[in-house]
Amino acid sequence: MTETVTPSPSMGDRLRQLPEAGRSLTRAADVDTRLLGLLAALAIIWIGFNVTTDGSFLTARNLWNLSVQSASIAIMATGMVLVIVSRNIDLSVGAMLGFIGYTMAMAQTEWLPDVLGLGLGHPAIWILSVVLGIVLGLVIGALQGFVIAYGFIPSFIVTLGGLLVWRGLIFQYAQGQTIAPLDPTFRLLGGGPQGSLGEIGSWIVGIVAVVIVLIGLVLLRRRQARYGFQVRPIWATVAIGVIATTVILGAVAVANAYPWPEALANNYAEANGIPIPPGGYIIPTGIAYPVLIMIAVGIVMTHLAERRRFGRNVYAIGGNPQAAELSGINTKRSITLVFAVMGLLAGVSAVVQTARLNAAVTGLGVTNELDVISAAVIGGTSFAGGIGTIPGAILGAVVMQSLRSGMVLLDVDSPTQDIIVGVVLVAAVGFDAWLRRKGT
């Protein structure tokens, strides 16, 4: 970093400078150190569980499971980042999810088939249900946001009220009855072997992603160079490109390494008149649809947060609400929008969760708000406002689900899981705060 000439340092000096060297390396490469720390924590958790479960954690199947199990919480956590960044909170996401999930289930099992007369299994049913769910989420999220922003009622109160209202409405719907089964096409959005991209589709998605990342890196360099800014050193760009390519294609390879369960594959082969080879008919599963949805949401939300005026304004509001207001930002509209986006994402998660469970139950989404908030916070989102990243929140959700999945493999009971996740949550935030204090 500095160009001052110093006498050649002793061995001890050099050792002492090691962490400093690491920091300057990441700074030179212009990458987010907080995110790297989270990745390191995840790596430790994964390797730890793999050792304690005698190698059944880091299998293609378990990682595939983990990706699907994390999806719903991760999707909502991306929205919760913006909510918390804007110095608000949304306690109603679980109840919204339940309410929306119930509405979609009613739509596809009763209203659309019977009232509209489409009949069960009509191909338009799943599309209409999904659109209904997402629009409903958007509307009730916007409603809560409007009350918060224009009614000057703290978001804690409004969304606490929302929690009670949406939960209560679930009961009003069907007197607590479970609604199942759901539309067969709709169910694919919840994952499972049929609800996945398959081998070729997954490779196409992976390769497209790699191409986009590489083009993005080149364009960024070019843009920075055009203005004569300091550009990342070429080695760093190349290294980031290589790492990103490896991670993306590696993830696709892992998803494809998980074959369809034997029973399903054999049924499929029989149904299509394919002779079953010795050793079984192998169909690679590929990336599950909920995971694809999660990735798409992550990209869109990152774009919104970092590359759009909306996101910039939300971060400004979180950093200094007064300054944001004085600089002409329409803070009320921004806050309303933040909650509308949160509601929309609760709708998306409702699709994933009901489709995955193939049912709407009264308990749908119960305590999800706590998981979502925890994921955002473990991912580095600060309750002081103005700080937090979307990829961090997604990683936070994966960390939490990794802990839970790993503990089930170790036969740890769910109350004990709660205790451990609770301790990890507080420890993670404490560690983060300690780093921040040291950093400044």
Partner 1 sequence: MSAVEQNHPAGPPVSKEGYLVEMRDMRVSFGGVHAVNGVSINLRPGEVVGLVGGNGAGKSTLMKVLSGAQLPDSGEILIGGQVASIHNPRDARAYGVECIYQTLALADNLHAPANVFLGRELIQRSGVLDDPGMEDATRKLMKRLNPRFRNFKGPVQSLSGGQRQSVAIARAIHFNATILIMDEPTAALGPAETAQVRDLIRQLKGEGLGIFLISHDIHDVYDLSDRVSVMYHGQIVGTVNRADVTTDQLLAMIILGKKPEELTAEELEALHASG
Partner 2 sequence: MVIRRMAAILGSLALVLAACGGGGAASEDAEASSGGGASDCKVAVSWNNYQEERWALRDEPAIQAALEEAGAEYDSADAGSSEEQQASDVENLLADGADVLIILAQNTETILPSVEAAIDQGVPVIAYDRLIESPDTLYISFDNVRVGEMQAEAVLEVVDSGNFVIIKGNGADANSDFLRQGYTNVGVPDVGENSDTITIVGETYTDNWDPALAQTQMEQFLTDNNNEVDAVLSENDGMAGGVVAALEAQGLAGEVPVSGQDGDIAALNRVALGTQTVDVWKDARELGRAAGEAAVALCESADLASVPDTEEFESPGGNTLTSILLEPIPITQDNLDVVLDADWITEEDLCQGVEAGTLEVCP
Confirm or reject binding of residue 145 to partner 2 (CB under 8 A).
no
262 is a site residue for partner 2 (CB under 8 A): yes
Other beta carbons less than 10 A from residue 307's beta carbon = 10
In the list partner 1, partner 2, none, the entry touching 261 (Cβ below 5 to 8 angstroms by class) is: partner 2
Q: Which residue, 279, 282, 117, 118, is CA-closest to 198?
A: 282
| Nearest Cα to Cα of residue 373 among 416, 433, 421, 337 | 421
Which sign does the torsion angle of CA 192, 195, 199, 203 carry?
negative
120 forms part of the interface with partner 2 (CB under 8 A): yes
Residue 50 found at the interface with partner 2 (CB under 8 A): no
Does residue 181 have a cis bond before it (omega within 30 degrees)? yes
Is 88 in contact with 338 (CB distance < 8 Å)?
yes
229 binds, among partner 1, partner 2, none (CB under 5 to 8 A by kind): partner 1
Which residues are registered as beta bridge partners of 288? Answer: 196
Instruction: Tokens for 87, please give them.
Output: 């110095």
Give whichever of 166 and 260 is closer to partner 2, judged by the CB atom: 260
- In the bound complex, what is the minimum distance in angstroms from residue 77's beta carbon to partner 2? 17
Q: Which stretch binds partner 2 (CB under 8 A): 261-269, 299-307, 327-335, 425-433?
A: 261-269
Q: Are 379 and 392 in contact (CB under 8 A)?
A: yes
356 in contact with partner 2 (CB under 8 A): yes
Query: Which DSSP category does 189 fall into?
Result: T
Residue 386 contacts which entry, partner 2, partner 1, none (Cβ below 5-8 A, type-dependent): partner 1
Q: Which stretch binds partner 2 (CB under 8 A): 5-13, 217-225, 320-328, 356-364?
A: 356-364
Nearest to 352 by CA among 336, 374, 368: 368
Q: Is 362 an interacting residue with respect to partner 2 (CB under 8 A)?
A: yes
Query: Which tokens is 430 given?
Result: 């404490």
**CB closer to partner 2 out of 105 and 329:** 105
Q: Where do contacts with partner 2 occur on this chain (CB under 8 A)?
A: 53, 56, 59, 61-62, 65, 69, 120, 168, 171, 175-181, 191-193, 260-265, 267, 353, 356-359, 361-364, 366-367, 404-405, 408-409, 411, 413-415, 418
